[in-house]
Amino acid sequence: MSDQNRLDPASLPKAWPFEEAAKLAAHVERKALPADAPALLETGYGPSGLPHIGTFGEVARTSWVRQAYTRLTGRSTRLLAFSDDMDALRKVPDNVPNGDMLRQHLGKPLSRIPDPFGTHESFAAHNNARLRSFLDGFGFEYEFASSTEYYASGRFDAALRRVLEVHDEIVAVIAPTLGPDRRATYSPVLPVHPRTGLVMQVRMDGIDPVAGTVRWTDEDGETFETPVTGGHAKMQWKADWAMRWFALGVDYEMSGKDLIDSVKLSGKICRILGGEPPAGLTYELFLDENGQKISKSKGNGISVEEWLRYAPAESLGQYMFNAPQRAKRLFFDVIPKAADEYLANVARARTQGDDAALLSNPAWFIHAGKIDDSAGSPLTFAMLLNLASVANAETPDVLWKFIHRYDEAASPETCPMLARLVDHAIVYYADFVRPSKTYREPDARERAALADLAEMLRGLDAGTADPDTLQNLVFEIGKRHGFEPLRTWFGCLYEVLLGQTEGPRFGIFIGLYGVAETVALIEAALLRASAGTASVVAG
């Protein structure tokens, strides 16, 4: 990127990735990296459970920081997706098969435990493959790294020897955070038992920085001298994190709010080792429908696969982009809103050129700076869901019949995003909208207003029934019948006609569903209400 295309740091676009990019740029400047040296950004993954949506969010958000950093500075970056697959399995996840088999391997590195799914050489290999598969599916540019491979290959050997040189200083940092029993035996080094394969949390009887070994005694009283190099040992995780930052020269890594104290401790250890801790963002946690933190071991919340069943990948990007430092519910009811926010941002981007407004638009990040013509849709996801609801649509063909009436030129070929939304709307409607539909009866004023609306619609000239005209007509009816505030009239339309508490811009809905069809919908609701009243009187 030429100097003239770089941004002025004094006037950053108003988007959090650019704020993070500025922090990264300052960090790189302090380190005095050569101009052609890429900044190294890292994300971490613990493969004790299946990859979940939070893992995706961390990679997506870090990728957006990369994008902003390059736009800001013109410098290149690398993204390392690091799997902590040498960690010991401490408990059996709730959402994997063959739990009894896994239970026999508790305490061993994840990369040395059989795959409960029976598809890969180890549990870690299975989950690593799942991670790579969905990151690849989203088109992320990254390098995958395995903790086991880095330890065994010697990539960490020099840093591990350095850990032994400053062993007591590291213990002095961590010990005050531990209880008395754990403090008495703590060491940053976890040797792997040469016979059982267990990752041992034991007191170190001796440290030999010159030989690069530790001496320790197992629970049977047998003493061992183990090299810390070559994969014969690993680090306790806070020391491990710091050692990795030091060994690899990591410049940026974000982490969740629950790791604030760990980041501070790892930063201190990194400095003891002689390194500079990376810059980073502390993001808030995702919550499930009950307000509990989502967990890869519990499998609560939404999986990536589930989200993609109900909405396009771009909508998931939109959800992840919004306010990363604010806790958010992550359940199925957030999907339609995220989809329509994304569509609105794509439409907005069409008018923003290449200025700061565009660089603040989530769509610019979601599309890696290139928003092509296939992005966007003439109809919102919410509108399609409402159309599916009133039409009881079970196949996309039903929705396309109405869409063609609204826009003859619209087709899956000319509107690929709309086609994707149609397919998703059918599935989302069947699983979430149809089971929760509840119609209420209108009161006397509402019945009169609905009858008036039906009568006015019957008298419309088909050629003048554009969405704006129809919307103005709906407003006029609401005012004529004294609805105050006017939103109570629209609430009546949604609850009586659609069986839900919220709904679309009603003029567009009528134009899409059809004037005659809307009249029939109103008449059916009034007939239903009359039948209900008659049954009450008869009773």
Any residues with CB less than 8 A from the CB of 24 and at least 6 apart, and which?
Answer: 39, 41, 65, 69, 251, 252, 279
Read off the DSSP letter of residue 480: H
Tell me how crowded residue 529 is: count the other CB atoms within 10 A of its CB.
19
Q: What order of strands is seen across the sheet that includes strand 143-146?
A: 39-45, 77-83, 143-146
DSSP H/E element including 478: helix 467-480
Residues 6 or more apart whose Cβ sits within 8 Å of residue 83: 44, 45, 46, 47, 124, 127, 128, 131, 144, 145, 146, 147
Nearest residue to 198 via CA among 84, 116, 113: 113
Quickly list DSSP for 419-467.
HHHHHHHHHHIIIIIGGG-------HHHHHHHHHHHHHHHTS-GGG--H
> Encoding tokens for residue 349?
């981007």
Query: What is the enclosing helix (H) or strand (E) of 144?
Result: strand 143-146
Residue pair 85/146 in contact (Cβ under 8 Å)? The answer is: yes
Closest to 219 in 3D by CA, of 237, 196, 235 = 196
d(C-alpha 501, C-alpha 521), whole Å:
17
Question: How many other β-carbons are positioned within 10 Å of the β-carbon of residue 147?
Answer: 28
CA distance 39 to 21: 11
Annotated binding site for ATP: 296
Closest CA to 301 of 285, 284, 286, 321: 286
| C-beta of residue 507 within 8 angstroms of C-beta of residue 472 | yes
Q: What share of the chain is helix, strand, coil (3-state, %, to 5)?
A: 55, 10, 35
Phi-psi region of 302 (alpha: psi -120 to 50; beta: other; left: phi over 0): beta
Which residues contact residue 521 at a Cβ distance below 8 angstroms, ignoring those fewer than 6 apart? 390, 497, 513
**Annotated binding-site positions:** 296
Distances (CA, A) of 451 to 417, 426, 435, 505: 37, 30, 28, 20
